[in-house]
């Protein structure tokens, strides 16, 4: 989004200059360059990231009696030898979920990790199934995994997690994702009546420099995607395009009858 908007402004400036509107063309070109430098050098990226990621801790305040740690998928990749693995962006979340699981089990409570993610990458294997292998290697036994392998986006993560959490009868739900993704995720989970405590699996910052960097532009795009997702959610609600909001699930620690 950063580069397309820069190119749009730049082309507009060049067209204005070509049409002999040199003043307007030069102004538009300067705006395009300012946009690229503000995002690529860090100020805009830092502002966008800070507003998204603030307030999300790296740990849980207290555990309940029956705990569900919901791990949101972040994609998969097929390696050069054909093995399907979690993407780079998923590793922090997976590690955090495993650490939370061990912390939860140390209290003697009932602890499950629900992995939510289908085959969004079209690799013929759901994210939930791929992540389960890594979690097992990190010490989360298969008996304590709940796999939700249908969802293809964050909204569906929440939608398809609801019946699984109700069936388990959790009295505490912990939502694990990237800090930049949690604000939108919490909004969607609340829509489906899931009161969740957010825990960040990773945290990213802007890199301030005199020249634009592709890293800053990438993270600015990532952040803008989240802001647009939040705005789209509210628009869809206003237009009646989202499925109806669901009542809050009872986090009683007892499996519903």
Tokens of 26: 């030069």
Q: Assess contact for 148 and 103: CB atoms under 8 A.
A: no
Pairing mode of beta strands 76-78, 110-116? unpaired
Q: Assess contact for 71 and 94: CB atoms under 8 A.
A: yes
Where are the chain's structural domains?
2-52+212-234, 60-204
Tokens of 231: 């705005």
pLDDT value of position 255 = 42
pLDDT value of position 25 = 80
Q: What is the DSSP letter of 249?
A: P
Tokens of 101: 């699981």
What pTM does this model have? 0.90
Question: pLDDT tens digit string along 15-74?
Answer: 878 777 778 888 888 888 888 899 999 999 999 999 999 999 889 989 999 999 999 999
Q: What are the pLDDT tens digits along the chain (257 aa)?
A: 788 766 776 788 788 787 777 788 888 888 888 888 999 999 999 999 999 999 998 899 899 999 999 999 999 999 999 999 999 999 999 999 999 999 999 999 999 999 999 999 999 999 999 999 999 999 999 999 999 999 999 999 999 999 999 999 999 999 999 999 999 999 999 999 999 999 999 999 999 999 999 999 999 999 999 999 999 999 999 999 999 999 999 876 544 33
Among 3.40.50.150, 1.10.3720.10, 3.40.50.620, 2.60.40.4070, name the CATH number for the domain at 60-204. 3.40.50.620
Reduced to 3 states, what is the DSSP secondary structure of residue 148?
strand
Question: pLDDT tens digit string along 60-80?
Answer: 989 999 999 999 999 999 999
Pairing mode of beta strands 84-86, 76-78? antiparallel
- Strands, sheet with 197-200, edge to edge from the N-terminal-most edge strand: 145-148, 110-116, 66-72, 172-177, 197-200
CA distances from 69 to 59, 112, 203, 205 (A): 12, 6, 19, 26
Partnered with residue 66 across adjacent β-strands are 110
Query: Of 193, 172, 186, nearest to 112 (Cα)?
Result: 172
pLDDT value of position 7 = 74
Tokens of 131: 């992540």
pLDDT value of position 256 = 38
């Amino acid at each position: 989004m950063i580069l397309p908007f820069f190119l749009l402004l730049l082309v507009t400036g060049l067209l204005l200059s070509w049409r002999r509107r040199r003043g307007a063309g030069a102004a538009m070109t300067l705006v395009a360059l300012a946009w690229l430098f503000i995002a690529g050098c860090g100020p805009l990226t830092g502002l966008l990231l800070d507003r998204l990621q603030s307030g999300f801790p790296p740990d849980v305040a207290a555990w309940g009696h029956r705990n569900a740690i919901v791990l949101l998928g972040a994609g998969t990749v097929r390696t050069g030898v054909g093995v399907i693995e979690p993407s780079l962006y998923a590793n922090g979340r997976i590690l955090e979920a495993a650490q939370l699981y061990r912390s939860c089990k140390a209290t003697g409570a009932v602890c499950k990790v629900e992995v939510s993610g289908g085959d969004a990458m079209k690799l013929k294997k759901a994210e939930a199934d791929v992540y389960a292998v890594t979690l097992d290697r990190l010490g989360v036994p298969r008996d304590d995994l709940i796999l939700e392998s249908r969802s293809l986006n964050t909204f569906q993560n929440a939608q398809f997690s609801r019946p699984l959490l109700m069936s388990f009868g959790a009295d505490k739900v912990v939502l694990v994702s990237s800090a930049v993704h949690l604000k939108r995720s919490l909004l969607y989970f609340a829509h489906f009546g899931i009161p969740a405590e957010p825990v960040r699996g990773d945290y990213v910052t802007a890199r301030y420099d005199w020249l634009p960097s592709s890293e800053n532009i990438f993270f600015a795009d990532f952040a803008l995607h989240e802001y647009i997702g939040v705005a789209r959610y509210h628009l869809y609600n206003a237009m009646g395009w989202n499925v109806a909001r669901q009542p809050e699930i009872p986090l009683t620690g007892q499996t519903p009858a």
